[in-house]
Amino acid sequence: MNRSKAGIYSVVVLILSILILGTTEQSFAAKDTPGIPVEVTGKLTVIYEDDLENNRARLIHKVKDLKSGKEYALKFKGKSPKNLRSGAIVKIHGKASGKELILALDETSGGSIQSIATSTPANVAGEQKILVIVADFLDQNATCSVADIDDRLFSDTSNQSVDDLYRETSHGTTWLSGQTVGPYLLDFDSSTCDIEAKADAAEAAARADGVDVDSYNRRVFVMPRGGCSASGYGTVGDSPSRAWVFVCEHPDVFAHEIGHNLGMGHAATPTMSYGDETDFMGGAQNKLRQINAPHKEQMGWLPSEQVELLSTSGIYQVAPLELDPTQAVAPQAYKIVKPGTGEYYYLSYRRAIGFDSNLSYFRHLDRLSVHSIDADYGSSSYLLSALADGESYQDAANNITVTQLSHNNDYTTIQVDFGSSPCITAAPSVVLSPSSQSAAAGTQLSYTVSVTNNDSF
């Protein structure tokens, strides 16, 4: 806005003719959420449902009442609260409707969710002990053998396993170990999609077979798709965690669901849930590749000294994200604050190193990746652009321009330009003086209204 901010910029005297016929009050309450008001204290389960083949994702929230044992599907009216993790104990004031607990968190609804006890943190560093349980149904069998699954996850002789991938992308911070057992015949057919009941039955079968299930903090269930439309499911955070894989031929589906178990969200684009192909938290293409810069920082796999916050225009170098940080000749990621939001831009450089040789399939090599991430809901990232030499990404609203100038094996050279700060609009302050008056019917009253411009300039 172009108005000069000089305190109160407009004073208007209003002459109001009020005919006082009596006192009448009318309230406009928010539309009621249907259901019966309830208070539920229970254990929270948060699960990503991944339909990777059709590019559809859904975040499922459930809460199991500790008193009654009843499980509700938790439905939020509006955006769900940030950082909800499986295993947390929460107290919820909402409205029950059948098997659903509906929660509106606006000021007028009276709905609330309060954490009573946090979940056991998902330790993302060190050994991740994984038990893979293969299960068949009465009318359908899993499509992969125990030996094939074990090879894809742990023991590939050409060092192309999911374990090898996690070791590489975490720079040796995180690795997988474990065993694959089964297949066990479960008393289910393919008509239902009760993944938790099937997982319970699979664990029971493994225990009956002498497997020490409790010694594993990660459990992966490979079984037929049955009545489910998804490629897989993964709980978010918590330990022990659970993942379900129905498309077991693709190793990146295993990597993806285990990534949810470790706390990662999706690698998306603004229009597609799995649109970022530079990260195995994007779509499943049967191509293993590392994760992007926002996820590496989230996981603690990129040292803080390798992530630099930019606030001034200049020319900078970015070292390949794949390198061991001790070998990088420059920062491996830059962050830029997006003014007036809780968002950051991330700048990183990808090369054909290790598993990222597969990025040639996606045409992201030797380019500057530009991502954004919401600081409040930071588990999911968004790929905005992949810049070749001479190409730019521009945020016109905030006068930020990023250009890749040139690149070599050791780094890419970029130019970052910060223009003048834009005007950030804000609601004006309105003061009515006096705030209330009383008079006989037909009396003329005077009010002063002061309006203050709260824009940034």
For the chain, which ranges sit under pLDDT 50?
1-31
Cis preceding linkage at 434, omega within 30: yes
Helices 162-169, 251-261: crossing angle, 10 deg rounding: 50
Does some domain include residue 321? yes
Residues 108 and 163 in one domain: no
Q: Give the model's pLDDT for residue 434.
A: 81
| Whether the Cβ atoms of residue 90 and residue 63 lie closer than 8 Å to each other | yes
In tens, the pLDDT along 404-445 reads 999 999 999 999 999 865 556 778 888 877 877 777 777 777
Residues 113 and 136 in one domain: no
CATH of the domain at 158: 3.40.390
Residues 195 and 100 in one domain: no
Closest CA to 346 of 368, 377, 313: 368
Does some domain include residue 279? no
| Whether the Cβ atoms of residue 399 and residue 418 lie closer than 8 Å to each other | yes
Distance CA 233, CA 199 (A): 12
Domain, as residue range, for 86: 36-117
Cis preceding linkage at 121, omega within 30: no
| Whether the Cβ atoms of residue 303 and residue 291 lie closer than 8 Å to each other | no
Task: Measure Cα distances from 1 to 8, 337, 338, 454 in Å.
Answer: 16, 22, 19, 11
Cβ neighbours, 10 Å, residue 238:
23
Instruction: Give me the residue label for tokens 């606030």.
Output: 311
Residues 321 and 340 in one domain: yes
Task: Measure Cα distances from 132 to 182, 256, 288, 301 in Å.
Answer: 9, 15, 19, 25
Number of Cα atoms under 13 Å in the Cβ half of residue 396:
0
Does some domain include residue 344? yes
Residues 234 and 109 in one domain: no
Residues 133 and 226 in one domain: yes
Distance CA 222, CA 142 (A): 7
Does some domain include residue 342? yes
Distance CA 386, CA 350 (A): 10
Residues 226 and 307 in one domain: no
Does some domain include residue 84? yes
Of 56, 88, 117, the domain-final residue = 117
CATH of the domain at 103: 2.40.50
The kind and range of the H/E element at 177 are strand 174-185
Residues 311 and 341 in one domain: yes
Residues 164 and 234 in one domain: yes
Does some domain include residue 454? no
Residues 231 and 316 in one domain: no
| Whether the Cβ atoms of residue 332 and residue 411 lie closer than 8 Å to each other | no
Distance CA 249, CA 271 (A): 27
In tens, the pLDDT along 238-284 reads 889 999 999 999 999 999 999 999 999 999 999 999 999 999 999 87
Q: Give the model's pLDDT for residue 376.
A: 60
Does some domain include residue 451? no
Closest CA to 293 of 253, 323, 313: 323
| Whether the Cβ atoms of residue 335 and residue 402 lie closer than 8 Å to each other | no
Instruction: Give me the residue label for tokens 């990777």.
Output: 52
Distance CA 386, CA 403 (A): 10
Strand partners, 337: 344
Of 98, 117, 136, the domain-final residue = 117
Cβ neighbours, 10 Å, residue 360:
12
Residues 359 and 319 in one domain: yes
Confirm whether pTM is higher than 0.75: yes
Number of Cα atoms under 13 Å in the Cβ half of residue 124:
21
Residues 206 and 312 in one domain: no
Does some domain include residue 247? yes
Number of domains in the chain: 3
Q: Give the model's pLDDT for residue 17.
A: 31
Of 86, 117, 148, the domain-final residue = 117
Closest CA to 379 of 136, 59, 14: 59
